[in-house]
């Protein structure tokens, strides 16, 4: 009965948080090798379906520059890719765990156990590759920031001392591989089993010009913070390759 209810939710039942529907996404197994280089030119990424349009929750004016995000997995890693349409790219924070959301930045906030939704992990990366991580769980007794194990990631402008806006700006990419062992304290299974469900959101902030913020799963008023786990969308791990387009 529990499985039927879960499948019904993933196949079209509308779940609401603060009056907004929560999106669903199926994460397929990696069909072929991925190289973490911020190019996204492998067949695996071409086959992975995008999550869908991001929502501009607090939009008042300016261009709504979209983000194309995709996820894949294997027995060792969760893979995340963001392609950010952006005509004004800027990033200046270089300090580990610095305030990267002041720059052009992408983020994934994820809760591996939907029954403990407020146990969640954050991965926040600006356009030049500076990362901030938090472990907001009931078991973490360390500092506000956290050092996940074994991450591999690259950005289009990885390692630059700064990225100023340029007339040539058009888009930027972040590619991230997160070892699943980082979630062993909260996930029901690592690696996930076929049909396992997690909750997560994918976020983006803008830099100096056209400073928009957007999310995959909408965050409805009065909430404004990305740190709203009740607004995280649903993902389901499928132990099969993505369908060919």
Q: Is residue 243 a part of any domain in this protein?
A: no
Within a domain: residue 113? yes
Residue 216 in any domain: the answer is: yes
pLDDT at 8: 38
Residues in contact with 9: Cβ distance below 8 Å, sequence separation at least 6, in sequence order: 15, 24, 234
Scored b (16 or more CB within 10 A) or e, 102-119 reads bbbbbbbbbbbbeeeeeb
Residue 126 has a pLDDT of: 98
The verdict on residue 23 lying in a domain is yes
Over pLDDT 90: what percentage of the chain? Answer: 86
Residue 193 lies in a domain: yes
Within a domain: 112: yes
Q: Measured between alpha carbons, how far is 89 from 124 in angstroms, rounded to an integer?
A: 16
User: Per-residue confidence at 242, pLDDT binned at 50, 70, 90?
Assistant: very high
pLDDT computed for residue 176 by the predictor: 98
d(CA 125, CA 57): 20
Q: Which of 125, 103, 74 is nearest to 240 (CA)?
A: 74
Q: The pTM is what?
A: 0.91
CATH number of the domain encompassing residue 193:
2.60.40.1190
Domain hosting 194: range is 2-238
| Number of domains forming the structure of the chain | 1
Phi, psi angles (nearest 5°) of residue 7: -65, -35
Q: Of all residues in the chain, what percent carry a pLDDT higher than 70?
A: 91
Q: Are 75 and 148 in contact (CB under 8 A)?
A: no
245 domain-assigned: no
pLDDT value, residue 20: 65
Q: Residue 65: in which H helix or E strand, if any?
A: none
* In-domain check, residue 109: yes
The H or E element spanning position 3 is helix 2-10
């Amino acid at each position: 009965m529990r499985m039927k209810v879960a499948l019904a939710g993933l196949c079209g039942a509308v779940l609401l948080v603060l009056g907004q529907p929560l999106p669903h996404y199926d994460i397929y197994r990696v069909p072929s090798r991925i190289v973490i280089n911020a190019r996204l030119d492998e067949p695996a990424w071409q086959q992975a379906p995008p999550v869908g349009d991001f929502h501009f929750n607090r939009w008042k004016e300016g261009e709504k520059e979209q983000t194309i995000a995709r996820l894949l997995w294997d027995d060792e890693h969760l893979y995340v890719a963001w392609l950010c349409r952006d005509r004004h790219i800027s990033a200046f924070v270089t300090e580990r765990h610095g305030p990267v959301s002041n720059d052009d930045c992408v983020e994934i906030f994820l809760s591996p156990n939907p029954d403990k939704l407020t146990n969640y992990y954050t991965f926040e990366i600006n356009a030049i590759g500076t990362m901030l991580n938090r472990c907001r769980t009931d078991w973490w007794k360390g500092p506000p920031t956290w050092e996940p194990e074994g991450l591999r990631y690259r950005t289009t402008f990885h390692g630059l001392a700064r990225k100023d806006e340029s007339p040539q700006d058009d888009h930027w990419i972040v590619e991230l591989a997160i070892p699943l062992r980082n979630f062993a304290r909260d996930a029901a299974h690592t690696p996930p089993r076929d049909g396992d469900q997690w909750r997560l959101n994918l976020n983006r902030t803008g830099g100096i010009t056209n400073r928009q913020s957007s999310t995959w799963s909408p965050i409805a008023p009065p909430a404004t913070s990305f740190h709203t786990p009740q607004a995280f969308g649903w993902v389901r791990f499928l132990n099969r390759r993505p369908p060919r387009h």
